[in-house]
Amino acid sequence: MEERKTDLSRTLVNSYRVANYRVVTGQYSFFILNIKKKSADLETLMKQHNLFTAVYITGYNIHGKQTEPHINIKAQKNLVGDIRRTGLPFLEGFGEDPTGKWKKEPSLLVFGMSLEDAEDLGRKYGQNAIVWMDDEYVPKLIFLK
């Protein structure tokens, strides 16, 4: 799957590409997903759940703009509720900007969601992009605008 074209600025697109997408697997354990880099940790988890799609998504920073903390917190809480209602397994995490320009964004790695549903959910929460993974275990950016 090739990266879709987007009207977003190059700077914003690059910040999505270089971000570290951290997945928390225990109190002191985690792994990091990076765009276009196969993840053995992701492969292990997906096989463990016997689900071969996953999406990394957040409710923070609507349309890629720094958003007030109370708005971000409410959006993330609503996103978690939406995911729980699907019954799909998920892990918490947070997106990290290696340059430090953006604050850490609480995020979720959700297993077993279709790409169409993941895109719809991303749009519902005003996201510019989601990170999509399938049975190649390579995180890919999916631009929603």
User: What pLDDT, in 10s, does the model give residues 125-144?
Assistant: 999 999 999 999 999 999 99
What is the rounded CA–CA span in Å between residue 107 and residue 125? 12
Torsion angle defined by CA atoms of residues 18, 6, 81 and 70, in that order, rounded to the nearest 10 degrees: 70
In a domain, 5, yes or no: no
In a domain, 4, yes or no: no
Cβ–Cβ under 8 Å, residues 1 and 140? yes
pLDDT band at residue 83, thresholds of 50, 70 and 90?
very high
In a domain, 1, yes or no: no
Q: Which domain holds residue 126?
A: 10-143
pLDDT tens sequence across 26-63: 888 999 999 999 999 999 999 998 999 999 999 999 99
Amino acid at 73: I
Q: Look up residue 132 and give its two tokens.
A: 């999509």
Residues 102-114, mean pLDDT to the nearest whole number: 94
**Biggest CA-to-CA distance, the chain:** 39
In a domain, 105, yes or no: yes
What confidence score (pLDDT) does residue 101 get? 81
